[in-house]
Amino acid sequence: MSKPVLQIIVGSTRPGRVGTAVAEWFEGLAVKHDAFATQLIELADVGLPLYDEPNPPRLGRYVHEHTRRWSQTVLAADAFVFVIPEYNHGYNAATKNALDFLHNEWRGKPVGFVSYGAAAAGARAVHGLLPVVAALGMLPSGRTVTIPQIARAVRPGEAYTGNERADEGAGLLLDDLSTFAELLAARRR
């Protein structure tokens, strides 16, 4: 039997973002965890414009090719981890936009967050997204990996190496997502 697919989605689209380094660190831990086949997705590469579909997403009647491609990408996943920055005490627009483009594709799938920022470590961004993913029918893990003082932890173009606390938190998050993915996959069949 094939492994469930975990999509690790880099929410920031800002040039010089450090989210890619954080996502690569998390993906390395997910590969070692061995419960998932992983896919790293950069929203900057997906290239979604500001939501531009004329029909509500719950209908699934997409008129734009970029939306159909995004739908197929998300449908292929069994679980998600969003690697997100905190901007101005909240989540970033690209992450919210990517979520808003679709509806049924997210339903019944577990989601976790790896957040980063300054002193709050992205916790406020996660807090703001929890009702959004719940409204989409996703099951959020009660665990979040938060990385404080990101500017000290990694610089643009450098690798993020984590630390004992972050590595342990990532392992626990992956445990939750693995358990939830198995339970929810049976429900979606």
Residue 188 has pLDDT above 70, yes or no: no
Instruction: Provide φ and ψ at 16, rounded to 5°.
Output: 80, 10
- Tens digit of pLDDT for each residue in 140-184? 999 999 999 999 999 888 999 999 999 999 999 999 999 999 998
- Tens digit of pLDDT for each residue in 41-63? 999 999 999 999 999 999 999 99
- Distance (Å) of CA 135 to CA 23, 43, 128, 131: 25, 21, 12, 6
Pick from 109, 102, 104, 123: nearest CA to 169: 123
Instruction: Provide φ and ψ at 138, rounded to 5°.
Output: -90, 160
Residue 113 has pLDDT above 70, yes or no: yes
The single-letter DSSP state of residue 47 is: -
Provide the residue ranges of all domains of the chain, joining segments of one domain with +: 5-188
Q: Which CATH number fits domain 5-188: 1.10.3720.10, 1.10.580.10, 3.40.50.360, 3.40.50.2300?
A: 3.40.50.360
Predicted local confidence at residue 1, as pLDDT: 66
